[in-house]
Amino acid sequence: MKLARRVEALPPYLFAEISKKIAAKRAEGVDIVTFGIGDPDLATPRNILDALHTAAEEPVNHRYPESEGLPELRQSISDWYERRFEVKFDPQKETLPLIGSKEGIGHVALCFIDPGDIALVPDPGYPVYEVGTMFAGGTSYKLDCNREGGWKPDFDKIPADVADKAKVIWLNYPNNPTGAVADFDFFERAVAWAKKHDVAILHDNPYCDVAYDGYKPISIFQVPGARDVAIEFNSWSKIYNMTGWRIGMVVGNPVMIDALMRVKSNIDSGIPQAIQKMAIEAVYGPQDCIDEHNAIYQRRRDRMVEVLRKAGLEVDMPKASLYVWAKLPDGVTSADYAARLIDETGVVVTPGRGYGLNGEGYIRLSVTTPDDRMEEGLRRIEAWAR
Ligand SMILES: Cc1ncc(COP(=O)(O)O)c(C=O)c1O
Q: What is the CATH number of domain 5-43+288-385?
A: 3.90.1150.10
Ligand 1 atom at shortest distance from the alpha carbon of 39: 14
Cα-Cα-Cα-Cα dihedral sign, residues 100, 103, 109, 111: negative
- Residue 11 pLDDT level (bands cut at 50, 70, 90): confident
Q: Find out if CATH 1.10.10.10 is the number for domain 46-284.
A: no
pLDDT digits (tens, 9 = 90+) for 71-94: 999 999 999 999 999 999 999 999
What's the CA-to-centroid distance between 129 and ligand 1, angstroms?
11
What's the CA-to-centroid distance between 219 and ligand 1, angstroms?
16
pLDDT digits (tens, 9 = 90+) for 198-234: 999 999 999 999 999 999 999 999 999 999 999 999 9
| Residues with C-beta less than 6 Å from any ligand 1 atom | 38, 100-102, 105, 126, 172, 176, 204, 206, 235, 237, 243, 248
**pLDDT of the residue at 31:** 95
pLDDT digits (tens, 9 = 90+) for 136-175: 999 999 999 999 999 999 999 999 999 989 999 999 999 9
CA pair distance 301, 215, nearest whole angstrom? 15
Query: Is residue 9's pLDDT more than 90?
Result: no
CA pair distance 247, 270, nearest whole angstrom? 10
Ligand 1 atom at shortest distance from the alpha carbon of 126: 1
DSSP string over 236-285: STTTTT-GGG--EEEEE-HHHHHHHHHHHHHH-----HHHHHHHHHHHHS
- Residue among 99, 176, 355 to mutate when testing ligand 1 (max atoms within 8 A of CB): 176
CA pair distance 204, 73, nearest whole angstrom? 20
**pLDDT of the residue at 16:** 76
Q: Where are the domains of the chain?
A: 5-43+288-385, 46-284
Q: Whose CA is nearest to atom 1 of ligand 1?
A: 176
Ligand 1 atom at shortest distance from the alpha carbon of 103: 9
Mean pLDDT computed over 370-386: 95
Angle separating helix axes 273-284 and 46-56, nearest 10 degrees: 150
What's the CA-to-centroid distance between 344 and ligand 1, angstroms?
30
H-helix or E-strand spanning residue 110? helix 109-112
pLDDT digits (tens, 9 = 90+) for 228-267: 999 999 999 999 999 999 999 999 999 999 999 999 999 9
Query: Which residue, among 224, 223, 212, has the nearest Cα to 181 in the 3D structure?
Result: 212
Ligand 1 atom at shortest distance from the alpha carbon of 247: 11
Read off the pTM: 0.96
**CB within 8 A of 317, min separation 6: which ones?**
301, 305
Ligand 1 atom at shortest distance from the alpha carbon of 236: 11
What's the CA-to-centroid distance between 245 and ligand 1, angstroms?
13
pLDDT digits (tens, 9 = 90+) for 297-326: 999 999 999 999 999 999 999 999 999 999
End-to-end CA gap in the chain: 52
CA pair distance 164, 186, nearest whole angstrom? 20
